[in-house]
Structure 1
């Protein structure tokens, strides 16, 4: 019961973080691992648990769907689905020991994207533009990352799309939520078919994430954006550091 309570409360926090500023997987994944779920299965279960919240966001944004620059949304959706499936299969084929080693680096990449992704995107879009065909190639890679791990993938998409579409980035929130959900959807199906989901923990976290997402959306309307961002970045940086210490400290001490 203590473990399931931890899972449920972690789901609430993860859902709230996603509703506020993103980064919910930084809470859900460590909580599942702490509950004894093997790392690869924990990552798959985390994706499944947080998926309904993302799907609800995509439905809420449906009226704002549009192409990204000159790139049709259907083409972006197709390559994202393909990339998401490839990433999910790659995760299922990754040995647990290898995933444990690479996980801190994935968390670091996601932390940097959360912290600097918008600034980097803004700086790049003021200097460069990329061909629409290149957008599809990069989008496939982002879909693959989304299916494999997915932390901060939405921010990465916005940063890349800014190089081909000069609109206010807020106008791209609708396609962003759709395509992130698409990558997650095909990954969720792959994980369920492969039997890679730990259902008791996943369902407990899913219930918490729904409640947390609802609360986070309402809190986000009242809380100062600067405070929300600071708390999110502090939490993600702390969790990333903890995983680096846990993974690599024993190796360094042996030497």
Structure 2
């Protein structure tokens, strides 16, 4: 399944960077635009799967960007999620009337935003709902938070689930402990690198009930990867 592309049209650099970091961590390809004019150009060139659109953009406003997109045949059905500091009911209605698919008022929680993005993608383009990931005989259901291996249920704690979820999105790629800490625990949380080893150990134990091949490869002095050929 191809990686969904999201254009983030946001003129606050700090917020744009934060959005890019968190969306890329979720496995999306992210393109940034600092104003409405640039957003229209990037959308035209990249043909994204979703647009995160700030209401108050320089040059061309978010509302105007949305209006123009809805007028063009190629972008008429592009999912648009509006970000705005305006919480008033009339503004929300105006945003939706212009053709936005959903609306998130700042300040918002990243968890809520990511859930809204997944919901919009699922609703509008079911083929993009990357809710089931598989590698070899392992299947991860990201919505139900369930894991199966060779048909049997694998019970994982939340951290082990997030570890497996991250590894299965990049099969064969080696991640250092620091990269896994960043992706699973977050860059603003202080956790010792040794903690990764402990959770990898728990993940291994849950995945390997005895006779199966260990899918997690330890790469000496480099890190870990999910590799069925290990």
Q: Which protein has greater RCO, CA pairs closer than 8 Å, 6+ apart? A: 1
TM range (shorter): under 0.3
Q: Of Structure 1 and Structure 2, which has the larger fraction of its residues in strand?
A: 2
Normalised to the residue count of structure 1, the TM-score between the two structures is 0.22
State the structure with more CA Rg: 2
Normalised to the residue count of structure 2, the TM-score between the two structures is 0.24
